[in-house]
């Protein structure tokens, strides 16, 4: 589902997000969203926010790099790349992490973070390199 969402973003048609979101989906963008911190509720509000972000760029893409998850929780490590209008072919790039909570096969919660470790902590998941301490002898 996340790969499909990234492809839809890159293709410029995020209308498919409506069928991926639970009716009461909550999305938090933190400092990564134009409106700043806060959350939005409902698929239409989330999609409108994403469309405003996409509209600021001549081209924009989301590239999934890695996935970390357990059960209904997933954190996607993503590369976002955007080309400002009227600029050369040199895009702006940013690594971002998106956390998801699924319910009945739909996205019920999503939040954006500037680092994978931050997203994993927020969702109560262990970072991929976390190593359990050795038992005392």
* pLDDT tens digits along 17-60: 999 999 999 999 876 665 555 788 999 999 988 888 888 899 99
Q: Phi and psi for 72 in degrees, rounded to 5?
A: -90, 5
Of residues 110 and 38, more confidently modeled: 110
Is the predicted pLDDT of residue 68 greater than 90, yes or no? yes
**Rounded to whole angstroms, how far apart are CA atoms 79 and 54?**
15
Domain 2-122 has CATH 3.40.1480.10: no
């Amino acid at each position: 589902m996340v790969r499909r969402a990234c492809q839809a973003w890159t293709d410029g048609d995020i209308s498919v997000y409506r069928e991926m979101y639970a009716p009461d989906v909550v999305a938090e963008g933190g400092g990564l969203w134009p409106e700043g911190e806060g959350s939005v509720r409902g698929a239409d509000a989330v999609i409108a926010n994403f469309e405003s972000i996409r509209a600021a760029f001549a081209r924009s893409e989301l590239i999934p790099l890695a996935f970390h998850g357990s059960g209904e929780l997933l954190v996607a490590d993503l590369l976002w790349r955007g080309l400002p209008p009227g600029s050369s072919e040199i895009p702006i790039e940013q690594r971002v992490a998106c956390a998801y909570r699924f319910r009945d096969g739909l996205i019920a919660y999503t939040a954006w973070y500037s680092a994978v470790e931050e997203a994993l902590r927020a969702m109560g998941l262990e970072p991929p390199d976390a190593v359990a301490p050795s038992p005392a002898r």
